[in-house]
Amino acid sequence: MLLFGGDYNPEQWPEEVWTEDVALMRQAGVNIATVGVFAWSDLEPEPGRYEFDWLDRVLDLLHEGGIKVALATPTASPPPWFTLAHPEALPVTADGIRLSHGSRDTYCVSSPAYRAAARAVAGRLAERYAHHPALAMWHVHNEYGTDCRCDVTAAAFRLWLQKRHGDLGTLNEAWTTSFWSQRYSDWAQIAPPRATQYMPNPAHVLDFRRFLSDELLDGFIEQRDLLRAANPAVPVTTNFVQGGWVSVDHARWAEEVDVVAVDHYPDDAGPGAEEQTAFAADLARGWGGGSWLLMETGPNLIYTRGRMHAKEPGRLTRHSLGYVARGSSGAMYFQWRQPRGGAELFHSALVPHAGPDTPVFREAVALGRTLRTLSPKAADAPPPAASVAVTWDAPSWWALQGPGLPAADIDYLAAVRQAHRALYRAKLQADFVFPGVSTALGDYRMIVVPQLYLVSDEAAAAFRDYVAAGGTLVVTYLSGIAEPDTRIRLGGYPGAFREILGVRVVEWHPQAPGTVITLEDGLAGATASAGLAASSGSVAFSGSVASAGLTAERWIERVETAGAATISRYADGPMAGAPAITRNRYGAGSAWYVSAGLTDDSLQALLRQVAAEAGAEPVLPGLPSEVEAVRRGDLLFLFNHGDQPATVDRVTLPPGGVRIRSADGVEGPPVGRG
Ligand code: GAL
């Protein structure tokens, strides 16, 4: 059964509204409600005094209505009494400011008092509800990620560092502490990175982020274990955040949850939202090893550039089915009913302030019907199979957010999204691989490696094996630069990939925003129609890249070839005439190097061509540009994201429409706009 529902906060409403809620949920075909995420102060109004009666009634009511429950532990938002009694458990910023109560997430995960209180409330919930017939899963906490730099955190950080580095000598070496006289002679001298006079040490900053991810994970595991012990049959999860905030290393966390559950809020109101939906879903599927669940998205809202954007009719449906097509076991939203007050009082909901007689609720009802029809085929269908993959690595992102980098506008997330977007626009189904966590790189035809800054020796060897065995690798600038502790790999960039790529980069030339650099095709003056690169050291390279030319922004480099063939040279700018894009034959495969910050169109043209050479096939040939096609098992999902009707295989998709086909015909009602 595909799950359909979302966050439900009955504690914000009088009981008569609960009855209406359940009736409306039934009308919409909602089959799961996430309950209790922020209900700590209602569940435990005073220390050790629990009030479960209301929750009993809510769970019973939902159960009678045939609606399952993802029951949350409320530990993301400690109640006022807790923070008053334990001011030491309030988080401290890098500036040394101890935050006050008044929002949510006011906790320090290293605080023993907080951990004890969290275990206590989670334990009581487990005791009372582990065998409730409505319980489908546990939802621990909410979007783990609170940062704290207090002294208790400092002590935990030191213990973590001792485990990671063993002795101080190793830490000093890994952190290059002889730079600026930072050599530590006692563990007690090490604190979390705090406001300091000038730039902090990048290795220190990065290790703290790793520590925080692990420390938060310990907090999760503690709760998970006691919930599991109460009833091992009930899966335990927590909701991972997708987007610009990378609080924890999800690829590592994924190993500890029973279900990878993801919150995703696109932040682009235009077609970028559809591309972000595909990106988020493909990444979540990677974390989940194939299966995952969309735990939250905005039913009728995209936050974009400081403004709320109401989704156009049909877009809720398209996005929701987009996640399902890409492997989600359902579509869930934040939230069921729009609140009357509180900080998120205008956040959208399936039942908005105006009530159920609204476009969003009507669309939800129709979507519920579609999901029900789809359930028998989609719920257990295997996830989309991809012939190409993109790398993802949270520590590389953290390192590229660190101090001392060569350009202030380096943006790892943007680079990975751009690579994925290029594949998406080329209609290639992509997966993600996580070389920082697992050296298994699969048997993809092509792997794209955008800005994989940190690469271990083991990961470098795995990439070598992958290419030697016939794989095609496309590596972009800022990859393979450092070891996992941020120490630079010497001898020329991109250190970890130099051998496979057959190049040596000796200088970086980051460019001011707005500067556009042109790349030649490797055969200046040759006929574009022939599309052949013939200058010495260059190889034949036919097709759109050669004839259209390429442009780059923000980043160029001085590249020397050391075995690689030059595919494209810089045509202007400080590197004019020097190699820009290269290809190296390595074993049975090829490794491409992209030294420039290619614009979207250029990267897309390049990846399209490399993928074709590598034998990676689009999901369907000849798709119109506005149409997205995804295969999940036997089902083919076709999405028309455009404003005009589009025809695919004699099926006409209305503007904004979705068609789902299986081997034995069209599944479910056609979904169109309005
Ligand atoms: C999510 C969060 C929810 C709510 C929502 C608003 O990230 O889990 O509690 O705050 O954002 O968009």
- Over residues 360-390, the pLDDT tens digits come to 999 999 999 999 999 999 999 999 999 999 9
Q: What contacts 566, CB < 8 A, 6 or more positions away? A: 522, 533, 535, 537, 538, 539, 579, 580, 581, 582
Comparing 11-25, 219-233, 268-282, 651-665, the range with the smallest average pLDDT is 651-665
Residue type at position 266: P
Provide the annotated binding site for substrate: 104, 142
Position 667 pLDDT exceeds 90: no
263 lines ligand 1 (CB under 6 A): yes
Rounded to the nearest integer, the mean pLDDT of the chain is 94
**What number is the average pLDDT over the span 284-307?**
93
Q: Which atom of ligand 1 is nearest to the CA of 301?
A: 12
What's the pLDDT tens digit per position in 622-661? 999 999 999 999 999 999 999 999 999 888 999 999 999 9
40 lines ligand 1 (CB under 6 A): no
Position 544 pLDDT exceeds 80: no
Are both 461 and 560 inside the same structural domain? yes
- Nearest-10 crossing angle of helices 272-287, 315-325: 30
Is residue 360 exposed (0-12), middle (13-18) or buried (19+ Cβ within 10 Å)? buried
- Give the span between the Cα atoms of 108 and 639, in whole angstroms: 44
Q: Which residue has the tokens 């012939």?
A: 387
Are both 476 and 442 inside the same structural domain? yes
Q: Whose CA is nearest to atom 10 of ligand 1?
A: 344
Could you tell me the residue range of the domain that residue 659 belongs to?
Answer: 627-666
The pLDDT assigned to 532 comes to 31
DSSP class of residue 623?
Answer: -
The pLDDT assigned to 498 comes to 98
Position 525 pLDDT exceeds 80: no
The pair phi, psi for residue 351, each rounded to 5°, is -115, 100
Are both 526 and 428 inside the same structural domain? yes
Provide the annotated binding site: 104, 108, 142, 148, 150
Cα distances (angstroms) measured from residue 286 to each of 239, 434, 442: 15, 8, 12
The pLDDT assigned to 298 comes to 96
Position 543 pLDDT exceeds 80: no
Are both 591 and 638 inside the same structural domain? no
Flag whether 577 is in a domain. yes
Flag whether 661 is in a domain. yes
The pLDDT assigned to 402 comes to 96
The pair phi, psi for residue 564, each rounded to 5°, is -80, 155
Residue type at position 96: G
Flag whether 120 is in a domain. no
583 lines ligand 1 (CB under 6 A): no
Q: Whose CA is nearest to atom 4 of ligand 1?
A: 334
What's the pLDDT tens digit per position in 571-608? 999 999 999 999 999 999 999 999 999 999 999 999 99
What's the pLDDT tens digit per position in 451-476? 999 999 999 999 999 999 999 999 99
Short-list 366, 360, 328, 357, CA closest to 347: 360
pLDDT band at 245 (very low <50, low <70, confident <90, very high): confident
The pLDDT assigned to 671 comes to 67
Pocket test for ligand 1, best of 334, 335, 346 (most atoms within 8 A of CB): 334
Are both 494 and 633 inside the same structural domain? no
What's the domain count of the chain?
2
**What number is the average pLDDT over the span 12-39?**
98
**What number is the average pLDDT over the span 229-258?**
96
Are both 515 and 599 inside the same structural domain? yes
Beta bridge partners, 519, equal 550, 570
Count of beta carbons in the 10 Å neighbourhood of residue 49:
8
Are both 454 and 500 inside the same structural domain? yes
Beta bridge partners, 34, equal 7, 70
Are both 435 and 578 inside the same structural domain? yes
Supply 508's token pair: 């970086």
Are both 607 and 631 inside the same structural domain? no
Short-list 182, 249, 207, 214, CA closest to 110: 214
Position 213 pLDDT exceeds 50: yes
pLDDT band at 668 (very low <50, low <70, confident <90, very high): low
The pLDDT assigned to 666 comes to 67
333 lines ligand 1 (CB under 6 A): no
Position 449 pLDDT exceeds 50: yes
Question: Is 625 in a helix, a strand, or coil?
Answer: coil
The pLDDT assigned to 527 comes to 28
Are both 662 and 516 inside the same structural domain? no
Are both 644 and 510 inside the same structural domain? no
Comparing 46-60, 336-350, 534-548, the range with the smallest average pLDDT is 534-548
Short-list 344, 345, 277, CA closest to 311: 277
Are both 494 and 569 inside the same structural domain? yes
